[in-house]
Structure 1
Amino acid sequence: MLGADGIFVELAGEAYELRPSLRATMRLLRRHQLFGLIAAVEGFNITIIMDMLREAGIKPALLLAEIATVGLGKVRNRLTGPLAEFALAIAGIDPDDTTPIKPVAGKPITPTEYHTQLFEIATGWLGWTAAEAWNATPAEIIAAQNGHVAYLKMTGVLVPVEGAKEPDIYTAEQLKEIEEGGLDPAFDRDGLAALKAKL
């Protein structure tokens, strides 16, 4: 959720933020998949947890040093909650959000496809640099896109088309006639003739 408190872990007496940036999210999902990350947190898989810390910009050696100092049980108890929250953030889930999930129409996409679309939105639509896109969280990119769309609507740049209708659907007979004669009744021949005259 945008503006939510950060996710922090304490290692060697210092607090470090687990930030689900787009780069960290895509890399972790590509290597471990979402269920792999959740299972790693639940089973406290040191190798995958070290990878999660590394992608969040935290030295993995700190985890090993902490375990050596205070013991595995204490470290596990202290880190499981924040790591689980980090894994959920990577999945785009806010555990504090009680809003019911609405079904979305269309073909389902993979997490990799979803995060690739977010990168395209950030760099293509919003004009961010690649570095800015990689460092932003998915929630930040979505909020920026929503704000950009709202701004375009407010300034009149983006205007919904009123009275837009669905395209004509031809019958099988009409399609055969178009194919044989090469004439589509919906094609604007007068507009084409006017354009040719201007050229």
Structure 2
Amino acid sequence: MAKLADAITVSIGGEAIELRPSLRFAIRIERRPGSFAGLLREIMDGSLTATCEIIRDHADIPMLETRILDNGLDALREPLVRYVLALTGMDEPEAANDNGSKAKGKSQPFSEYLSGLYKIGTGWLGWTPQDTLNATPAEIMLAHDGRMSMLKAIFGGTDDKTDKPQSDISLDEKFRGVFGGFGTKIVQRRA
């Protein structure tokens, strides 16, 4: 199950800035060259340009580059990575395949996944386009789950999850897609 995104706050020159991982920004990041994986790579490499690109979406700060350099890029790396991962709508790792089995589902480009979330928000949930674009991917998925539960309570239905019009991409496949360019691999913890 998706979890609502925690508030992601960064401090630039003593000013706290909340980075809200809304669908609007997820669509914009997906369309940029390199998409999510490219942006993550730039953040990990300490790119001032990538850092400014994210923060400018959320605050208008004069002389942003200078203030970030005064603050230090390393302090911003962890919250920016969490922000980009929240934009993808990824669940927490412990929720993925507890039984160790490989998830069933087909691969889907992030552009289709994000447009599917938009369709859920404006179609299934009846939200305005503005409300849908301002919601986080996790909020859209949880609201959809709530709507489906309500409809099942009213009209009856099965408890299987086969009727969900959400992404068929497993969490492992999402991580592989995002982190594939880094050459990383998933390591399971030993109990």
TM-score (norm 1): 0.69
Give aligned pairs, total: 153
Q: Which amino acid aligns with 2:94?
A: T
Report what 1:109 is aligned to: 108
Change (3 A) 1:67 1:143: closer
Report what 2:23 is aligned to: 22
| Kept in 2: contact 1:8–1:16 (CA 8 A) | yes
Q: Which amino acid aligns with 1:24?
A: F
Q: Which amino acid aligns with 1:84?
A: V
Q: Which amino acid aligns with 1:25?
A: A
| Kept in 1: contact 2:88–2:137 (CA 8 A) | no
Shift of 1:119: 0.1
Structure 2 runs not aligned, ≥5 long: 159-191
Shift of 1:50: 1.5
Q: Which has the larger radius of gyration?
A: 1
Report what 1:76 is aligned to: 73
Change (3 A) 1:62 1:153: farther
Shift of 1:78: 1.3
| Kept in 2: contact 1:50–1:60 (CA 8 A) | no
Distance 1:81 1:62 in 2: 22
Matched, 1:86 2:98: no
Tell me the SS of whatever aligns to 1:105: coil
Change (3 A) 1:75 1:104: same
Shift of 1:126: 0.6
Distance 1:42 1:119 in 2: 29
TM-score (norm 2): 0.72
Structure with the higher fraction of residues in helix conformation: 1
Structure 1 runs not aligned, ≥5 long: 161-199
Shift of 1:111: 0.6
| Kept in 2: contact 1:11–1:62 (CA 8 A) | no
Alignment RMSD: 2.1
Distance 1:62 1:3 in 2: 33
Q: Which amino acid aligns with 1:121?
A: I
Between the two structures, name the one with larger relative contact order (CA 8 Å, sep ≥ 6).
Answer: 2
Tell me the SS of whatever aligns to 2:94: coil
Report what 1:99 is aligned to: 95
Q: Which amino acid aligns with 2:146?
A: G
